Amino acid sequence: MKRPTMKKIIFRAITLVPLLTIVAVVSYFIFFTNLPQLLYSQSVRNLNFDCLEFSSASYVYKMKPGKCRVRNIEYDMIFTSDANGFRNGIRTDAAYDVAVIGDSHAHGFGVADNQTFASLLESLHHFKTVNLAMGSYATMRELEVLNEYGKDAKYVAVQYCPNDFSENDESLRLSKEEFRSRAEENWRSLVKSYHEGKALGFRKPLRDLALMLREHSYSSKSNWKRTVEANRQMEQEAVGFATIVDRYRLLLEGKRLIIFEVAGSGINSPRFKPAFEMELAKLGWLNYRVLNTSSLLDRHDYFFLDDHINQSGHAKLAEAIAKEIREWESQKALIAN
């Protein structure tokens, strides 16, 4: 077989340069910047707005009873909601000892019904658990739901997300009637904008990608995480959370709360635990523990594009929460055998 000449080798190498350059540039954007995550969340991800229904209650909306399918790049899942509109359709026992409240992370966006940490607390760790979490809820709405559907819980697992801060602040400034009206207005606007974007098909992600590249509205992943952490007003977040909790003393006194952060894309702060513990300690009536998820969850516990925790993240949270309950129960049991 005739071996290629040096000229041919050099020529072939030169012709590959543009292709290799393109591959290198694309790889950089995918693996070393947050551009894929921004584009996905803004223009690509499918959401389950059609499975929601508005309510006259302070929590504004919940799920329609029954099944709802959501398909995205990284998962294809089915939500099963009970008659009250929460993700408990697979439960056969109406009794519960643990109530889970939180937003879409606790609700289980991206995982199957039996993979949420609420479901695992029951199936693997044998604590009867009701899941009352709902996407985009912040602390006040979570506690309103707990008051209506989970007031008999002995333990309450409270999942906090950094984006709760703005809603918490608003719920403290406004009356419940004003808050509910504004929340519904904002939510209807969001739903309308989402459907308008989906109606554009592939044109929206292409347009948004071009705009992001032109305006350089992305950053390196390391700088993204540093910026998110640096910009958080952790002390104010803790004060707002504790103030709302104090307003629900009649509901929460006598219960045991396990409080933890699940931030989007795994940017959980090591400052969360000390800041929240310091403020909650001022509530002498509250029985609580705060978990440090910055050391519990890592990037492998989240989807790559979607900012929610994956099956691994739910399993870790279930184990950590169950451990806290077992330790508390060993000191003084609240749950009947």
145 in the same domain as 30: no
Host domain of residue 289:
45-199+232-331
Q: What is the pLDDT of residue 197?
A: 96
Question: What DSSP assignment string belongs to 259-305?
Answer: EEE--GGG---TTHHHHHHHHHTT-TT-EEEE--HHHH--GGGB-SS
210 in a domain, yes or no?
no
157 in a domain, yes or no?
yes
Check: CB of residue 270 under 8 Å from CB of residue 295. Answer: yes
Q: What is the pLDDT of residue 2?
A: 54
69 in the same domain as 12: no
14 in a domain, yes or no?
yes
Residue type, 224: W
Q: What radius of gyration do the chain's Cα atoms show?
A: 23
CA atoms within 13 A on the CB side of 5: 3
Q: Number of structural domains, the chain?
A: 2
189 in a domain, yes or no?
yes
58 in the same domain as 13: no
318 in a domain, yes or no?
yes
Question: What DSSP assignment string belongs to 5-54?
Answer: PHHHHHHHHHHHHHHHHHHHHHHHHHHHBSHHHHHIIIII----GGGEEE
Q: For position 136, which CATH number holds?
A: 3.40.50.1110
Q: Going by DSSP bridges, is the β-strand pair 287-290/256-261 parallel, antiparallel, or unpaired? A: parallel
Helix (H, G, I), strand (E, B) or coil at 231: helix
56 in the same domain as 29: no
- What is the distance in angstroms between the CA of the first residue and the CA of the last residue of the chain? 80
Residue type, 219: S
13 in the same domain as 90: no
193 in the same domain as 103: yes
1 in a domain, yes or no?
no
79 in the same domain as 26: no
50 in the same domain as 15: no
163 in the same domain as 85: yes
CA atoms within 13 A on the CB side of 130: 23
Tens of pLDDT along the chain (337 residues)?
556 666 666 666 677 667 677 777 788 888 999 999 999 999 999 999 999 999 999 999 999 999 999 999 999 999 999 999 999 988 888 999 999 999 999 999 999 999 999 999 999 999 999 999 999 999 999 999 999 999 999 999 999 999 999 999 999 999 999 999 999 999 999 999 999 999 999 999 999 999 999 999 999 999 999 999 999 999 999 999 999 999 999 999 999 999 999 999 999 999 999 999 999 999 999 999 999 999 999 999 999 999 999 999 999 999 999 999 999 999 999 998 7
The alpha carbon torsion through 90, 137, 292, 334 (nearest 10 deg) reads -50
Check: CB of residue 242 under 8 Å from CB of residue 282. Answer: yes
104 in the same domain as 16: no
225 in a domain, yes or no?
no
